[in-house]
Amino acid sequence: MAETFDLVLKGGTVVNHDGIAPRDIGLRNGRIAAVGSLGASAAGEVIDCTGLHILPGVIDTQVHFREPGLEHKEDLETGSRAAVLGGVTAVFEMPNTNPPTTNPDALADKVRRARHRMFCDFAFYVGATRENVDDIPELERLEGSAGIKVFVGSSTGTLLVDDDPTLERIFAKLRRRAAFHSEDEARLRERAGIRRPGDPSSHPEWRDEIAALTSTQRLVRLAEKHGRRIHILHVSTAEEMAFLAEHKEWASVEVTPHHLTLVAPECYQRLGTYAQMNPPVREDRHRQALWAGLSAGIVDVLGSDHAPHTREEKDHAYPQSHSGMTGVQTLLPIMLDHVNAGRLSLERLVDLTSHGPQRLFGIRNKGRIAVGYDGDLTIVDLKRQQTIDNSMIASRCGWTPYHGVTVTGWPVGTFVRGRRVMWEGEVLGPAAGEPVRFYEGV
């Protein structure tokens, strides 16, 4: 008797843990029910994926969707709309909102706002503060918690924790892998005078490689002392990459598409403050070191660090201009273009965006195409050429640093738990996002 499925994806090339091969995928009750040749199977719907590649759903483990409190530049609905347009099926969102996500009530409020309003699945980091250290074991295990995020260097928001006594207390309490914005705050304060008014190219001179390296060395020492797993976000320097290569026992590594793609000083000459990020986009020797670290396997995951600001906020004269850029919608197109240029394999991209997040953070039922897993799938046309345009950007701020850039490789379909939520540039409702589930938590 032939099997029956809710949906069968026919004729696509599946990219997964066992390689790249033509396979059909059968979905039932939101999960993957079969992978292989399903020629005689019955299905409620069949989608012809001939000529397309099917990837495990892309998981973006660093986004800022700004809700609550900063909805003038993004909210959970608009951010998730941008995510699924970019082939992203789940996101980890950051705590520097207003009010910040630092207690059970604030986390529960975000989960309530997101459930069945976001188009992708979601988890939320909880910001560590001097006041909530004793609550960390509880905060790590609540529904929708991606774990603890610590801002060791100042960025957008008020969640700075840079003193040794508090960091020691935080490390002693951690159980899950915690994420860190790693820049040395004392050095940033000392060097603030290096910023040249009106010149964003001085941003990486101020927030230099020593500020990044000193902080990352400090965090690794604490991780080794306490036996805790840490995740260094948006690594941007050659010095950090060389150091982290020798300290992988406790520290995992994220890089971003913009640090792999943009380069100083050209990006500041071309984009001005629209290239301004924390940590900064740096000169080519750093970019080359990030690629070398990616090729060597030092890098564990890609995150977009999607951090939207309005044009008005970006148009302030440096350094009053805000640091951050959009990225969740362009993460996959930019990286597929790098795949087509031969800078990394498609299998390595899948490891960075699906298998890697699942492995590092203990995500349940996501991150691979296998029977019994959630039907989270990203379908791409590797051959499609597309010019990225500001008008495509679903983020409320409506701009991208890649405006006018032509890429090869494009997401054409996004499935979340078996539901088609995007096809050929159209978001399909209703929104049905649910909290990501973890082995060490809910």
Q: Is the pLDDT of residue 50 over 60?
A: yes
CA separation (Å) from 122 to 87, 92, 345, 376?
14, 6, 27, 13
Cross-sheet strand order for the sheet of 145-151: 58-63, 88-93, 121-127, 145-151, 178-181, 230-232, 251-255, 301-302
For residue 383, give the amino acid letter: K
- pLDDT > 90 in the chain, percent: 95
User: What CATH number belongs to 57-361?
Assistant: 3.20.20.140
Mark whether 305 is an active-site residue: yes
Q: CA–CA separation, 58 vs 56, rounded Å?
A: 6
Q: Which of 6-15, 34-43, 318-327, 359-368 bottoms out in mean pLDDT, i.e. has the lowest? A: 34-43
What per-residue confidence (pLDDT) applies to 277? 97
**Mean pLDDT of the 31-45 span:** 91
Count of Cβ atoms closer than 10 Å to residue 439 Cβ: 9
404-426 pLDDT per residue, tens: 999 999 999 999 999 999 999 99
What per-residue confidence (pLDDT) applies to 1? 45
169-193 pLDDT per residue, tens: 999 999 999 999 999 999 999 999 9
Q: Is the pLDDT of residue 156 over 60?
A: no
What per-residue confidence (pLDDT) applies to 312? 98
**Mean pLDDT for the chain?**
96
Quote the tokens at residue 344: 């990394």
Per-domain residue ranges for the chain? 4-54+375-386+405-427, 57-361
By the 8 A CB rule, do 416 and 428 touch? Answer: no
Candidate list 75, 300, 305, 337, residue with the active-site label: 305
Model pTM above 0.95: yes
207-239 pLDDT per residue, tens: 999 999 999 999 999 999 999 999 999 999 999
CA separation (Å) from 367 to 288, 293, 395, 411?
28, 22, 25, 17
What per-residue confidence (pLDDT) applies to 154? 66
Confidence class for position 39, pLDDT limits 50, 70, 90: confident
Q: Is the pLDDT of residue 157 over 70?
A: no
* Correct CATH for 4-54+375-386+405-427 of 1.10.287.1080, 2.30.40.10, 2.30.36.70, 2.60.120.10: 2.30.40.10
60-89 pLDDT per residue, tens: 999 999 999 999 999 999 999 999 999 999
